[in-house]
């Protein structure tokens, strides 16, 4: 009888863990679908420079030239070992909005040292701005994104203005 109870408890724990994992995956897929379906409607981009504590809001015409055309085209999980290669705090954060409502936010992480320690998996996610290597990090999902072409242009233009 005692073994049966222990077995039932073990099965319940396994089912709870599997259910939680399925729920997290479903939420992640919903977030990705929402972003993909609504990216063309982005009409505001807010960039926060954490080094100077200045915020820059781009209106509809400015946002149109800097929003990523193919968001989330390549996503990878960021392992804790790889995360340590980047500065603890993001240099910039970028929020994409539709009519003042947040669609999603990313952080721009700066590589601490030379990019020689970066794995071949992460190398495509790096981009350079003003001589520094950066990567786009999606903190809500602990993922890195390879949508850097327009983000790189945006950061280059912001740095020139500052």
Q: What is the pLDDT of residue 19?
A: 92
In angstroms, the first-to-last Cα distance of the chain is 72
Question: Sign of the C-alpha dihedral, residues 129, 92, 154, 33?
Answer: positive
Which residues, at least 6 apart from 130, have a Cβ–Cβ distance to it below 8 Å?
155, 156, 159
For the chain, residues with pLDDT lower than 50 are none
pTM score, two decimals? 0.83
Q: What is the pLDDT of residue 33?
A: 87
Q: What is the pLDDT of residue 71?
A: 75
HEC profile of 98-152:
ECCEEEEEEEEEEECCCHHHCCCCCHHHEEEECCEEEEEEECCCCEEECCCHHHH
pLDDT in tens, 103-122: 999 999 998 877 567 788 88
Euclidean distance between CA atoms 132 and 79, whole angstroms: 21
What does the buried/exposed string (b/e) look like for 4-22 if buried means 16 or more CB atoms within 10 Å of the residue's CB? Answer: eeeeeeeeeeeeeeeeeee
Q: What is the pLDDT of residue 115?
A: 59
Q: What is the pLDDT of residue 142?
A: 87
Which residues, at least 6 apart from 118, have a Cβ–Cβ distance to it below 8 Å?
82, 85, 111, 126
């Amino acid at each position: 009888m005692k073994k049966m109870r222990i077995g039932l408890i073990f099965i319940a724990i396994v089912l709870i863990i599997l259910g939680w994992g399925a729920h997290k995956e479903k939420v992640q897929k919903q977030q990705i679908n929402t972003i993909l379906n609504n990216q063309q409607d982005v009409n505001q981009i807010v960039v926060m420079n954490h080094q100077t504590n200045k915020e820059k809001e781009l209106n509809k015409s400015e946002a149109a030239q800097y929003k990523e055309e193919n968001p989330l085209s390549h996503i990878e999980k960021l392992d804790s070992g790889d995360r340590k290669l980047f500065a603890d705090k993001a240099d910039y954060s970028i929020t994409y909005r539709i009519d003042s409502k947040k669609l999603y936010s990313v952080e721009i992480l700066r590589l601490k040292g030379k990019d020689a320690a970066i794995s071949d998996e992460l190398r495509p996610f790096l981009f350079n701005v003003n001589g520094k290597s950066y990567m786009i990090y999606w903190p809500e999902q602990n993922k890195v994104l390879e949508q850097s072409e327009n983000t790189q242009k945006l950061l280059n233009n912001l740095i020139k203005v500052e």
